[in-house]
Structure 1
Amino acid sequence: MRLMDLWMLYEADKRILGFSPHTLKAYSLQLNVLVREIGNLEIEEVSLILLKSYLAKQSERLKPSSLGHRIRFVRSLFRFAFEEGHVTKNPTLKLREPKMEKRIPKFLIEEDIIHLKITCDSPREHALLEFLYCTGCRVGEVHRLNVEDINWENCSAIVNGKGSKQREVYFTTECKVWLKRYLEEREDSCKALFVTETHPVRRMTIPTISFSIKKLATRGKVAVNVHPHRFRHTYACHLLDNGAPLDFIQGMLGHEKASTTQIYAQLRGERRRELYRRYF
């Protein structure tokens, strides 16, 4: 069996397990890079030495985090091959990910949020900004939301997170007002919560949401780099400032591992330093 044949089996297995199309597309690109570099070999010919040589070459142009993604994919692919009995031994057992510095998430301060709010010039901009800011949702979760996912009485929404895991998020009354105003002005029948302003009306894509936020930041002359995920960091920061425990924040953000949320514990000190740097 060759690498491309293994990929077909691996991809089918991950689809059954509910992996998202975005994840599988990223894996497919990494598989193509691997095959381009080492060839479409018989999988029994792939050795640890060969994989290390491939990854060493990749490390010359990749950041440690990106190299880590490559290593995790290769390990996952050959773990699958071994568990399914396609190889007699797993050549990736001794592959280790590069050490990475833990970066403190960057957030927006209250002044940035105010600038963004007063710059909005349409109900859609207001609704999108408020929803990102007060729910802490990932941009992909916002992209997948439908109008029917909203519970107006509870000011909440059911979002589909990573690994097709659902969770309930909550939004403010201000967000509810803008969402309703936005939906009332729409004349389309699209089920998506956020749609394009062009015809035919379609669900807003992830790049379109990101572009809308960046355009808003440029118009508002916000100095820092504003992107949808930065609202997620800001949301976590606000919860911390208001005394929320980390396990509660973990649940609200939809983190599978507590260690992912743990990095936000450093935000209190970092937030003070950020304010000092801006205003001193």
Structure 2
Amino acid sequence: MDFAREFMAKLDGKVSEEDMRIILRELEVFSGNYDIQKKETEIVEYQEPELPECYKVYLISKKIEGLSKETLKTYDLYLRDFLLTVNKPVSEITANDIRIYLYEYQRIHGVTNRTMDGKRLVINTFLQWCCDEGYIARNPCKQIHPIKYESKMREPLTGVEMELVRDACRTYRERAIIEVFYSTGCRVSELVRLNRSDVDFQKGEVHLFGKGNKHRISYINARAEVALKKYLFSRQDNDPALIVSDRKPHGRIKKTGIEKIVRDIGERSEIGRRVYPHLIRHTTATDALEHGMELQEVQAILGHEKMDTTLIYAKICQDNVKYNHKRYIV
């Protein structure tokens, strides 16, 4: 048992995340000089399923490590359902328990293999953490093979479709949102966090605060610069947020608000398919590669840690491959 991390679970919501990181670091050093054992208590038979203590400790650990709120919500949802359904101490969970849970979940809910593999991955990550932290002797999920599914290639917007989306914008704010998404390749959560001060028009740079609480720099092209300046000049508020709500007091717009705006623009464009922020991000990556940008540079703009992730988002144009094949393989 990890005394320091279990103690941090008790502080969740009582102090800031930064303070929690500092306290955890100091507590781990201090407690290293002591042999701390958990006090034995009488075994109580619970009438209703209860979540194990290590479950909350795990989520707190991931929160301290900087996982996004959206990812933490997904972990919480998946693990809570799994642990309450299996209803066993973590140390007694078997590979067969996991197989039965996954089989029954898919049978009852009718979800895709892709969703099921996502659940398997979350369970495996949690149980591996439990193993590394000494809560269990081994990870039973290692015996569960990845669930195969067909990965459909996401089709980016064509040049014509992108222009139709632009033409469907009715306000300065709508056009600014679309152009910033396309120029920077940012995630919707990153756009929500942006402040006016994060945009340097002189250098053409945007300072993004992204996934995993990591900072990176992306860039604004001429279209994004013009759209942003028109939008900012039209505003009557003093809120530091780059994009704000239309209604007074014009506070920072939420993620769902931006998603709805982009969805509405897409419907007005009448291009015949759903438009959402991540599709524009995918279009940015694909266009960059097709116009000759190096894969490592696209990776940097998108903020991906692994090159494989960039390849998933960005489809390399087969016409370019065919053309270069004729040039180089003779």
Q: TM-score, normalised by structure 2?
A: 0.77
Q: Kindly, what percent of the aligned residue pairs are identical?
A: 30
Letter of the 2:90 counterpart = I
Instruction: Mark the CA change 1:260 to 1:157 in structure 2 (over 3 Å): closer, same or farther.
Output: same
Letter of the 2:207 counterpart = I
CA-based RMSD: 2.1
Corresponding residue for 1:277?
A: none
Corresponding residue for 2:286?
A: 237
- Which of 77, 80, 86 is the matching residue for 1:32? 80
| CA drift at 1:102 | 3.2
Letter of the 2:159 counterpart = E
Larger-gyration structure (1/2): 2
Say whether 1:53 aligns with 2:91.
Answer: no
Inter-partner Cα distance in structure 1 for 2:138 and 2:166: 57
Corresponding residue for 2:240?
A: 191
Deviations 1:171-225 (CA, angstroms, capped at 9, x unpaired):
1122112112211222223222111112332222222111101111222222222
Inter-partner Cα distance in structure 2 for 1:213 and 1:271: 30
| CA drift at 1:271 | 10
- SS of 1:159's partner is strand
Inter-partner Cα distance in structure 2 for 1:269 and 1:256: 25
Deviations 1:132-181 (CA, angstroms, capped at 9, x unpaired):
11211111111221112111111111112221222111111221121122
| CA drift at 1:74 | 0.8
Contact 2:67 2:213 in 1 (8 A): yes
Instruction: Mark the CA change 1:202 to 1:265 in structure 2 (over 3 Å): closer, same or farther.
Output: closer
Instruction: Mark the CA change 1:266 to 1:121 in structure 2 (over 3 Å): closer, same or farther.
Output: closer
| CA drift at 1:266 | 4.4
Inter-partner Cα distance in structure 2 for 1:245 and 1:64: 33
Corresponding residue for 1:22?
A: 70
Contact 2:207 2:215 in 1 (8 A): yes
Corresponding residue for 1:278?
A: none
Say whether 1:6 aligns with 2:19.
Answer: no
Say whether 1:214 aligns with 2:263.
Answer: yes
- Aligned residue pair count: 271
Q: Which consecutive residues of structure 2, in runs of 5 or more, have no partner in the other structure?
A: 2-49, 322-330
Instruction: Mark the CA change 1:27 to 1:270 in structure 2 (over 3 Å): closer, same or farther.
Output: farther
Instruction: Mark the CA change 1:68 to 1:270 in structure 2 (over 3 Å): closer, same or farther.
Output: farther
| CA drift at 1:118 | 2.0
Q: Which consecutive residues of structure 1, in runs of 5 or more, have no partner in the other structure?
A: 273-280
Contact 1:3 1:43 in 2 (8 A): no
Inter-partner Cα distance in structure 2 for 1:121 and 1:262: 34
Instruction: Mark the CA change 1:194 to 1:271 in structure 2 (over 3 Å): closer, same or farther.
Output: farther
Inter-partner Cα distance in structure 2 for 1:28 and 1:264: 26
Contact 2:190 2:210 in 1 (8 A): yes
| CA drift at 1:100 | 2.7
Instruction: Mark the CA change 1:270 to 1:173 in structure 2 (over 3 Å): closer, same or farther.
Output: same
Q: TM-score, normalised by structure 1?
A: 0.90
Contact 1:104 1:267 in 2 (8 A): no
